[in-house]
Structure 1
Amino acid sequence: MISDDDLYRLAIFLGSCAMMMIVLYHFLDVNASEEEAESAESASQIKAEGAVPAVSTDKVSASRKGN
């Protein structure tokens, strides 16, 4: 059977893991890119102008330099 000391160590370990997962989730959530907001803004501009905008390659090449 599991002793009280083993149960205590298991509870501390699992609690610590849960806190680390929460911190990691919030870190990833804060630093996530917001492409949905940008695409919604672009869609509203297209509807307002009534034309299809030209595609710029500057933004794509600049974002791939960092990778």
Structure 2
Amino acid sequence: GAVVGIGVAGFETIEENYRAILIEGRNRAAIFTVPKVMPGAAAGQVSMSLGLRGPVFGVTSACSSANHA
């Protein structure tokens, strides 16, 4: 498994969606917004890339994420 600590996930994705809705006038967020900003996505990607088995966790506790992971 994998445990990855992150402070903030998906800032670029969040900004892209704000721009699309507020500036371009779209009426909804992009379809992959949620998977791109999920805290566990980074740990999942590490686990899949390395072929790891077991629990996968994404820890989000700002500056102390590494300690908690």
Judge same fold: TM > 0.5, yes or no.
no
Higher strand share: 2
Structure with bigger gyration radius: 1
Q: When the two structures are superposed, what TM-score results if normalisation uses the length of structure 2?
A: 0.28
